[in-house]
Structure 1
């Protein structure tokens, strides 16, 4: 079954108003090129609305990097899924390893955030990944399988949910797993999805993330069950991100 890939740029805590010009450049590039992928940029919350305006009417979509479980309330500093939607966002990244590790987010909380995003008509991008210690102990499949089962909401479908495998030890390190390891992990995630839903499991997009670059993107994207990439630092560079898009 052919699955249209997705390339998603996660800007993390980077970007100010001047970087909206970069969003416009990406949008112009997509309109001028035939890229066989869905493309999205997830800027910080302060830029979601301006990025959405800059990319309106183009092939480029805008998403958010996180959302709160609740729609509103006394949660100073947080952003709700309803706010993301109101600002023009089309998706929300949930369960990124930086959120899981630094803010102690559990699989249950990630699932609740995904449920909230889906309830607002947003695409939920659920992240999974093992630490270096877990990788060294051969626990990768056990860890990501548990995270997937615990983080995937009952309302998830291939249309409203993407899965992103990001080895924690690879993010921002310049290191990536061996192709055989990526294939093995993505195959396990695919089989887990099929076990959870025999009809829809084969249709989910499973993205790879973790030091994806213009140099390694083509090789990674060609691997079995790799249906796109979640790109970090390279998505802040017009040259690097467009090179990744061309490699699809």
Structure 2
């Protein structure tokens, strides 16, 4: 196999890892959005319970309709983020900005204790950080997909590679026993021993009954085809 083909396979591998990283960051933003929705439901239930035992109005915080719409909005944005919708991620970020400003401006003003308000503000800032990362990851993901479609149209993507995107998405856990890639395998990976180790680990996990030498040879043959 010539150096150009080897480099092409390495570029494909790096592309898959970049896609995996972006997807994980988007998933984190989605999970945070879902958690926010659950927290809003919990806050509404607690507020209703406190209002009932204190004899106050259940809808004293702007009526149950507001809470319902807010929860529907949050879960809707979470679904949109799971579908890689950039607009939904930006709307959720804007919602979190408004929430953070509200939490900041109402510290010590509402009936809640200042510790509760500081906790809410801290969570809003935490949410903003991960949502911002999610927005950036969403944009990178779409650029990567656009590049992948363009390369596929030009016939430049190795679609027959046995190390597919599904492989890249699997967790790269440490092997049960030390796996030592051969110098030839490391050379095919451009001298990157970490990458060679991971490829060998993948082959071993697929063929646990085979020897390390056999797995080394399999990976070498796959990269050489």
The TM-score bracket by the shorter chain reads under 0.3
Higher RCO (CA-CA < 8 Å; seq separation 6+) = 2
TM-score under structure 1 normalisation?
Answer: 0.22
TM-score under structure 2 normalisation?
Answer: 0.24
Query: Which structure dedicates a bigger proportion of its chain to helix?
Result: 2
